[in-house]
């Protein structure tokens, strides 16, 4: 497994070159950038520069994340919103391909009171099946992430959703910290198994109901790592936490050490 970091671990004023240079100097193997609407305006040549810079620093860009699906809900009752969400998937897959990332993270739906659950299931599934054509065209895998969206809150349901979509370019982006509130991450891992293409890691503290840096919460990381090894997962563990207020790099530095411990380097 490899040590990755999501760009949200750095202050919001960090540019992409700052994120890449600091991640390399700290010792990460790869960086997960976060696509926003400003980045979508980048030209092909600008995207090529990102890819070349990462390569020059010895970094992989294994995956691409985004928060845009909270705004452009793939299960919205408004067909125009769904259409925009499907277009974001296409643009995200194109961007991922341009920078050399193989996975584009997708939030499959955001539950709302006015859409019955089964309708949300069908709307989301229909959107993702349509979007999967773009993923296939760009050679990118859509990684459906388990998030706090009131949807797919069990591993059985999650697997069924992916299997109903039944497309080789639609898999699971598993978030350990997000799953802990709903169950035991190691059980999810074993059940989702070969569907998992990328992993987010962060800790969670039940007493405060807050996400925490690795080893500062209640997750049993020994069991999580055992399960990942059992299913043969050898991809990236991407740390996804916020920066500390007191220093712009301390969260990234601490998390790199935590990943070293997780991977048995120390």
pTM of the predicted protein model: 0.97
Q: Supply the pLDDT for residue 265.
A: 81
Residue found under tokens 């169950």? 183
Q: How far apart are the first and last CA of the chain?
A: 15
Task: Please give the tally of structural domains in the chain.
Answer: 1
Spatial distance between the Cα atoms of 212 and 217, rounded to a whole number of angstroms: 6
Give dist(CA 24, CA 194) in Å, integer. Answer: 30
Residue 182's CATH number:
3.20.20.150
The Cα–Cα gap between 48 and 120 comes to 37
Q: What is the mean pLDDT of each run of 10 residues along the chain (266 residues)?
A: 98 97 98 97 97 98 98 98 98 98 98 97 98 98 97 98 98 98 97 98 97 98 98 98 98 98 88
What the block records as the tokens of 6 is 């999501």
SS3 of 204-232:
EECCCCEEECCCCCCCCHHHHHHHHHHCC
Q: By residue range, what is the domain housing residue 207?
A: 2-262
Write out the H or E segment, with its range, that includes residue 110.
none
According to the model, what pLDDT value does residue 266 have? 65
Pairing of strands 103-106, 141-145: parallel
């Amino acid at each position: 497994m490899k040590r990755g970091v999501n760009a949200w671990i750095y202050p919001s004023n960090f540019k992409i070159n700052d994120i890449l240079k600091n991640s390399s100097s700290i010792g990460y193997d790869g960086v997960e950038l976060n696509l926003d609407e400003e980045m979508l305006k980048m030209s092909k040549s600008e995207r090529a520069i990102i890819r070349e810079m990462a390569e020059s620093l010895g970094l992989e860009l294994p995956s691409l994340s985004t928060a845009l699906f909270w705004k452009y809900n793939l299960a919205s009752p408004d067909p125009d919103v769904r259409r925009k969400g499907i277009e974001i998937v296409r643009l995200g897959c194109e961007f991922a391909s341009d920078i050399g990332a193989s996975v584009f993270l997708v939030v499959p739906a955001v539950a709302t009171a006015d859409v019955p659950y089964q309708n949300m299931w069908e709307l989301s599934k229909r959107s993702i099946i349509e979007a999967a054509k773009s993923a296939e065209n760009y050679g990118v895998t859509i990684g459906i992430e388990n998030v706090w969206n009131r949807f797919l809150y069990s591993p059985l349901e999650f697997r069924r959703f992916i299997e109903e979509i039944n497309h080789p370019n639609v898999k699971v982006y598993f978030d350990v910290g997000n799953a802990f509130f709903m169950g035991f991450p190691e059980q999810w891992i074993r059940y989702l198994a070969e569907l998992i293409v990328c992993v987010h890691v962060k800790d969670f503290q039940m007493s405060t109901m807050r996400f925490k840096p690795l080893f500062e919460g209640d997750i049993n990381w020994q069991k999580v790592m055992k399960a990942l090894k059992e299913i043969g997962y050898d991809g990236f563990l991407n740390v996804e936490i916020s920066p500390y207020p007191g220093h712009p790099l301390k969260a990234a530095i601490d998390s790199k050490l935590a990943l070293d411990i997780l991977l048995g380097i120390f």
